[in-house]
Amino acid sequence: METIIREGTPKTPFVRFDSDKGLVEIKGRSIPENSVEFYKPLIDWLEKYSGSPTKETNVNIQLEYFNTSSSKCILDIFKKLELIHKKGNPVEVNWYYEEDDEDMFEAGEDYQSIINIPFKMIEMEE
């Protein structure tokens, strides 16, 4: 499978989806003009990846801000990852947030309460 790497912009996050390493990374700001258009190829990639995932999938989410439409797309990503996990392939999410960013911490907790995969809440110092 092809690795997806997208450089971040002021409106879209850096993205790396690497099937060889079992790595899913999203970092930065997510306020694209059209969230569905931005995230659909990533969700489609996960759909294909779920057919033959690596032994373990590591997910690193390090967002400083995301809008409401992005939050729905991120939930869709987590739902695809949850299906991989339910098939017996371990998935672990590392949710990074800055120490004084309660909103991002709570967003991680919200996803954690909805999705049944192990979440690690990781506080970063400024």
Residue 47 has pLDDT above 80, yes or no: yes
* Nearest alpha-carbon partner for 13 in 69, 78, 70: 70
DSSP state of 72: H
- Residue 35 included in any domain: yes
Spatial separation of the C-alpha atoms in residues 116 and 113, rounded to whole Å = 8
Residue 12 lies in a domain: no
Give the pLDDT mean for 87-98: 97
**Does residue 10 belong to any structural domain of this protein?**
no
> Residue 28: which pLDDT band, with cuts at 50, 70 and 90?
very high
In a domain, 79, yes or no: yes
Answer yes or no: is 22 within a domain: no
Find the domain containing 90 and state its range. 31-61+73-95+112-120
Residue 97 confidence (pLDDT) above 80: yes
Question: Which amino acid appears at position 93 of this protein?
Answer: V
Asked if the structure places residue 52 within a domain, the reply is yes
Per-residue confidence (pLDDT) for residue 88, from 0 to 100: 95
Q: Could you tell me if residue 14 is inside a domain?
A: no
Give the number of domains in the chain.
1
Q: Is residue 3 part of a domain?
A: no
